[in-house]
Amino acid sequence: MQAAQPMRVDWFQVIADISRHGYSTQSLADAVAVPKSTLLGWKQGAEPRYSEGERLVAFWCQQTCRERALLPMVGPDDWWAYHARAK
């Protein structure tokens, strides 16, 4: 029996949630102090550095009025399957 794969933050969903609150890609990038291209990379599957990810999580919590424990999470296999359909 294999050990369960660890869950990870679904950065695509985090960014999508914030966008639904009226933020453009550029305004969100400005809010978390990263280049727009970096934010687009996260949306496509790149992992943010710890400090940048923490800023994005804090901003998500602020904009969605949700606690950190409610961050959208996904398993590694599920993430790729979910985003492969989105293309």
Confirm whether 71 is domain-assigned.
yes
Domain containing 47 equals: 8-85
Confirm whether 3 is domain-assigned.
no
Confirm whether 1 is domain-assigned.
no
pLDDT at 87: 45
CATH number at residue 34: 1.10.260
Closest CA to 86 of 45, 25, 27: 45
What's the token pair of residue 87?
A: 């293309």
Confirm whether 55 is domain-assigned.
yes
pLDDT at 25: 94
Instruction: Print pLDDT tens along the chain (87 aa).
Output: 566 678 889 999 999 999 999 999 999 999 999 999 999 999 988 999 999 999 999 999 999 999 999 999 988 777 555 555 454
pLDDT at 75: 83
Confirm whether 2 is domain-assigned.
no
Confirm whether 52 is domain-assigned.
yes
Confirm whether 61 is domain-assigned.
yes
Q: How many domains does the chain have?
A: 1
What's the token pair of residue 12?
A: 């695509």
Confirm whether 29 is domain-assigned.
yes
In a 13 Å sphere around the CA of 25, the CA atoms on its Cβ side amount to: 11
Using a cut of 0.85, tell me whether the model's pTM lies above it. Answer: no
